[in-house]
Structure 1
Amino acid sequence: MEQPQLVVGPLVRHVDQESASVWVEVDRAARVTVRAGDHVGERGTFAVHDHHYALVDVTGLPRGTRTAYVVEVDGTQVWPPTDPEVLGGLPDLPAPTLPTLDHDRPLRLAFGSCRTSVSHDAEGNRTHGVDALRAYALRMAGVTHAGDDDPDAGRAVDDVWPNLLLFLGDQVYADETTAEMRAFLESRRDLSEPPWTELADYQEYAELYRIAWTDPANRWLLSTVPTLMVFDDHDVRDDWNTSQSWKEQMEATSWWHDRIVAGLGSYWVHQHLGNLSPAERAEDALWRRVLDHEEALRDGSAAGELDLTDAVDALAERADADPTSYRWSFARDLGSQARLVVVDSRAARVLDPEHRSMLDDAEMSWLDAQLRGDVEHLLVGTSLPFLLAPGLHHVEAFGEALAQGAWGERAGRVGETLRQAVDLEHWAAFQDGFRAVADMVLEVATGRRGRAPRTVTFLSGDVHHSYVSEAVARDHETAERQHSRIVQAVCSPIRNPLPRRMRFATAALSYGLAGPIGHVVARSAKVPVAGLRWGMVRGPWFDNNLASLEVTDDGLRLWWARGAVVDDDHDRPRLTCVAEVPLVDEDGTGDSLRGLRRRFAAGGSLLRRGRREREG
């Protein structure tokens, strides 16, 4: 019998202070064992559409350590690989490790969104730019070294290792496929028939994930750094759930049903399961079947591999028809220094024109319970930026009002066309939900939900440019009670840059023309005023990049880094700094907020200051 093969992975997923979970896809029904020193986890695979997966928990690990591990399939070691070609001829990489958290040490988190999977040669870098994730992986592996502009220059790798890597959507593109993926599609079906070069079923999603996660350097990184993930539109299709009209158009096609079932089902397998702690997974009805089957195998009342194909398809179909039937959002307590809340801003939308919201009532209630103080930093991950450039925010709010009939039925049809054509579908285009969440955040920032954090920081992607904004309460009395800095940090893309002509148009429209127009048209449509006002701190910049966040004694430190090709060595880009934004103030957070309030009161918004910096 041939040796078992590792198809995808391993990926280190959920970790805490004493355990780590490892996800793999293998080529057959098998027993998967993870050995980390004296600590061993083992589990049989489960099948979905003839693919074989395991998520193995290793417990009892020492707190705040990294323990080398191996993965075995039916007793044969498959990771680390014995064949150097698996890692693409890179030099010896450090042994993969299972890390555990230590809540007494400062948190360090990397984040970003939007990554396409193409080659790392000169042609791939010409068309898609340098992969920031690969540059980051090579830096962490010690294959490349920090330059003078690296924010961590002079620090040992052990001191800069991230605790978590948060992917904020569009890890895979189901609708904009690469040449490699199109070749796979063409081997299965006629690309002149719907859905053409887009994905059709679970088998195609499985291949898309394989391509995305088996690039050698990034594969090593994912086998060592714990990851958290949430979807965005391209994981399913551009503008997914923009409006009721969009949904009806998709449901009228011959292929959408199979696509959404495959998209959500493969997401549950590849991304969502690993976001959950072992205790949370045990409460998931579908995962409970995996645990029950494992128990039956041990007591001899069952044999063979559990096939979850029908159950996964049924879950996905049900979740699409009734978003309240399944929650994709999740939260992580990271000790007293931070709490991370990751919000589904795609599948949980309410599209009824009479009651549009980014989140349905059940999801909004869940988020309401998660947004609380008594931590140093409250981090909110949402694929779509909560705070767009203010002018663009008002344009999107106007677009929603127009499409909903503020100026009559005919104008409403025009508004719907514009909404879909130019992606007017962020939080700003769901005003009821936006204002509800803004009110929650202000309650946190003013100490009405426990001790106010030092910061409430939104982490987002999607928009293919990066920036930092900061907000204060619009109401003067509330602003005086605000103790938390409210920040929006965006990192997009990791590898899928806007063409240069589009960068200029995006900057001009989002940060120039949209400003005066947005305020005027929003007022004309009688869009209610939000409880926040905000402006730009830094940005925008359009590089492929990956952002990092580090908790410090006096606040947060944020920086963005990209990959730079040195001496025409495209295969080994060097990590280089794009921007660094310390969210600290020598006089303390309170004085920082007072200064921000004064600038708004004087009409000198952060947006104007940001413009001066860019022009300078």
Structure 2
Amino acid sequence: MTPTPLVLGPILRYVDETSASIWVEVGSAARVVVRAAQRSWEARTFVVHGHHYALVEVVGLEPGSVTSYTVEIDGQQAWPHPGSVPEFPPSSIATRTPGKPLRLAFGSCRTSVPHTKEGNRTHGIDAMRAYALNGMKDDSSQRPDLILFLGDQVYADSTSEEMQQFIRGRRDIEEEPGAELKDYEEYAHLYRLAWSDSANRWLLSTLPSAMIFDDHDIRDDWNASTSWKQEMEATSWWQDRIVAGLASYWVYQHLGNMSPERRAEDRIWQRIVNHHDAAELDLSEELDAFADRADKDPASYRWSYCRDFDDTRLIVVDSRGSRVLTPDARALLTAEETAWLDHRMVGGFRHLLVGTSLPFLLPPGLHHIESWDEALAQGAWGARGARLGEKLRQGMDLEHWAAFQNSFRAVALMATEVADGNRGPAPETVTFLSGDVHFSYVAEVDRTSGSRILQVVCSPIRNPLPRLLRSSTAILSYAVAAPLGALVARSVKVPHPPFRWRNIRGPWFDNNLALLEDTADGLTLSWQSGTVDGEDHLNPRLREVAAMTVPRRGSGNMPGGEAEPETALSASKGTRARRGRRR
């Protein structure tokens, strides 16, 4: 078989009723053509640090259609590769059907290690791969409208042996930053490791995807505090890391997040589409300067985005890059980002979904501890207490929404006003979708009227907590931490949260991919994981870890997060058994 010039992709990104965006990385400057339904669309490549990319905008499709496609590079078919034995159905574009209820897959935290017995032993079975092999391959009717990756698509600071072999081939791994990523070239290789597996590659070629970064896309605790940032900036390698991380994120993840309309307004994309010289456009210097500016001035660029799926709105919020770290004005979102979110947190939808990599509603005990630690680090117990607070913040990852109380309270007010019908007709739910914490759960705000306010977490896709940490995490989050956390938060005069919430499902610690669907019965949720029969590690089966339906208010079920009758809950036998043991 002749080598293919296709390095990575095709990856199906933004899809609406009549258009689709298809992203590729190729081996050299080329013209990329997508063919579907006897039509074709094309784009020239642009280059960043020696890597060549194209995003082809496919337009004029029929709403509600499913169309197979192929990819050509300089006139030669590259996908599917000629002569290859078909392992999966043809890649296709399924355009949105107007009025069709949203079906969404989501999750976070996925490491890139081989899908072998050893890889599965250390990192668990890749839930996304198990879903590709079982949930979509043989049943296209169950295809989600979108898969939403809520952070840590790649781990720049915790690399696999394969990644370290690549690093050793180009620099001394004993010198800073060691086994962590150094520059754009290493990011490009890391994305290649993450997206090259045949099953995942096919899934990404046929299932529209949206993405947002979290800390490990750059480094653990990214933008936790002023002290953290000063420590990074004092190193010899941080400037290269942050520039390469944000530049590669724009290319590999963010470019495909944008709608055609928003992309047309993006200055870098304008440079790409308006380039008519014979030579390939080299964006290396321009993209590096952009990334440096985005880091130093978070208000200079918006990574967040918003999409409406008929009567469901999805807002994806950047909770990492837009932080204000000034000690006396800490905020998870800049003033500009807060105003942008505020403008989009409105009623008039059946469901308002807010995607944020960090859970907005942590388990209450953990929330109180983080709010206490923020006050401690701000000097509530003096200089010595401030040093202790900062040490705890970085050592225990205490830097979620709860550790930015000003932003937490501002968004809590937005959510409450939407749920109370003060920003237009109240939706059925205001639901935060998150990852990051390496366990999954569902929490609900205690309310007796208006919309349900929910927190739904799916984490990880493939990077489970070690078993020894699971019990301590559950205890810290759900047991003694609740009253203890509230007590210590009051000791430093942290105001009470604006509402109460409680856990209604979970936690569970499996590698998962979650599915959310708007149905006539309410919002249905399920968590899918992989399991291996015998030694067949390359072909995991799919199993349901948990499932539930959040019914509409007034349906006869109990409000405010109290347990619904069993008729409202569908769960696998394994889930029922685990729930019984927790009691």
Superposition TM-score, scaled by structure 1 size: 0.90
The whole-number CA distance in structure 2 between the counterparts of 1:595 and 1:582 is 12
Cα distance per residue 1:284-327 (max 9 Å; x no partner): 0111101111xx3xxxxx21211101110011000000000000
Instruction: Specify whether residues 75 and 303 from structure 1 end up closer, same or farther in structure 2 by C-alpha distance, changes over 3 A only.
Output: same
Larger deviation: 114-123 or 538-547?
114-123
Q: Is 2:294 the counterpart of 1:319?
A: yes
The whole-number CA distance in structure 1 between the counterparts of 2:296 and 2:581 is 46
Q: Is 2:92 the counterpart of 1:97?
A: yes
Match of 1:483 in 2: 450
TM superposition shift of 1:588:
2.3
The whole-number CA distance in structure 1 between the counterparts of 2:188 and 2:560 is 51
5+ residue gaps, structure 1: 144-156, 297-301, 473-478, 599-609
Cα distance per residue 1:371-429 (max 9 Å; x no partner): 11111000000000000000110000000000000111111111101110000000000
Contact 1:39 1:61 in 2 (8 A): no
Match of 2:304 in 1: 329
TM superposition shift of 1:568:
2.4
Instruction: Specify whether residues 596 and 615 from structure 1 end up closer, same or farther in structure 2 by C-alpha distance, changes over 3 A only.
Output: closer
TM superposition shift of 1:81:
1.9
Contact 2:357 2:436 in 1 (8 A): yes
Among 305, 315, 319, the alignment partner of 1:345 is 319
1:171-570 to structure 2, matched below 5 A, reads 171-293=153-275, 296=276, 302-336=277-311, 338-472=312-446, 479=447, 482-570=449-537
The whole-number CA distance in structure 1 between the counterparts of 2:366 and 2:83 is 51
Instruction: Specify whether residues 615 and 3 from structure 1 end up closer, same or farther in structure 2 by C-alpha distance, changes over 3 A only.
Output: closer
The whole-number CA distance in structure 1 between the counterparts of 2:120 and 2:59 is 41
Q: Is 2:59 the counterpart of 1:59?
A: yes
TM superposition shift of 1:56:
0.5
Instruction: Specify whether residues 61 and 564 from structure 1 end up closer, same or farther in structure 2 by C-alpha distance, changes over 3 A only.
Output: same
Read off the aligned partner of 2:537 and give its amino acid letter: H
Cα distance per residue 1:160-199 (max 9 Å; x no partner): 1111000000010000000000000000100110000000
Match of 2:574 in 1: none
Q: Is 2:37 the counterpart of 1:37?
A: yes
5+ residue gaps, structure 2: 565-576
Give the 4+ runs in structure 1 shifted more than 6 A.
none
TM superposition shift of 1:214:
0.6
Contact 1:466 1:541 in 2 (8 A): yes
Instruction: Specify whether residues 159 and 141 from structure 1 end up closer, same or farther in structure 2 by C-alpha distance, changes over 3 A only.
Output: closer
1:594-605 to structure 2, matched below 5 A, reads 596=562
Among 139, 142, 161, the alignment partner of 2:143 is 161
Contact 1:4 1:76 in 2 (8 A): no
SS across alignment from 1:417: helix
The whole-number CA distance in structure 2 between the counterparts of 1:94 and 1:243 is 47
TM superposition shift of 1:141:
4.6
Match of 2:573 in 1: none
TM superposition shift of 1:615:
2.4
Cα distance per residue 1:61-87 (max 9 Å; x no partner): 111122000000011110012354xxx
Match of 1:72 in 2: 72
Identity of aligned residues (%): 59
SS across alignment from 1:354: helix
Q: Is 2:107 the counterpart of 1:112?
A: yes
Contact 1:94 1:141 in 2 (8 A): no
The whole-number CA distance in structure 2 between the counterparts of 1:259 and 1:522 is 36
Contact 1:349 1:358 in 2 (8 A): yes
Contact 2:553 2:559 in 1 (8 A): no
The whole-number CA distance in structure 1 between the counterparts of 2:494 and 2:111 is 37
The whole-number CA distance in structure 2 between the counterparts of 1:105 and 1:399 is 45
Read off the aligned partner of 2:131 and give its amino acid letter: Y
Instruction: Specify whether residues 28 and 462 from structure 1 end up closer, same or farther in structure 2 by C-alpha distance, changes over 3 A only.
Output: same
Contact 2:135 2:542 in 1 (8 A): no
Read off the aligned partner of 1:432 and give its amino acid letter: N
Cα distance per residue 1:518-545 (max 9 Å; x no partner): 0100011110122121000100000001
TM superposition shift of 1:613:
5.3
Match of 2:81 in 1: 81
The whole-number CA distance in structure 2 between the counterparts of 1:205 and 1:73 is 24
Read off the aligned partner of 1:99 and give its amino acid letter: A
Cα distance per residue 1:34-58 (max 9 Å; x no partner): 1111332111000100100000011
Read off the aligned partner of 1:328 and give its amino acid letter: W
1:557-596 to structure 2, matched below 5 A, reads 557-584=524-551, 587-588=554-555, 592-593=558-559, 596=562
The whole-number CA distance in structure 2 between the counterparts of 1:28 and 1:180 is 24
Match of 1:154 in 2: none
Match of 1:299 in 2: none
TM superposition shift of 1:252:
0.6
Instruction: Specify whether residues 585 and 453 from structure 1 end up closer, same or farther in structure 2 by C-alpha distance, changes over 3 A only.
Output: closer
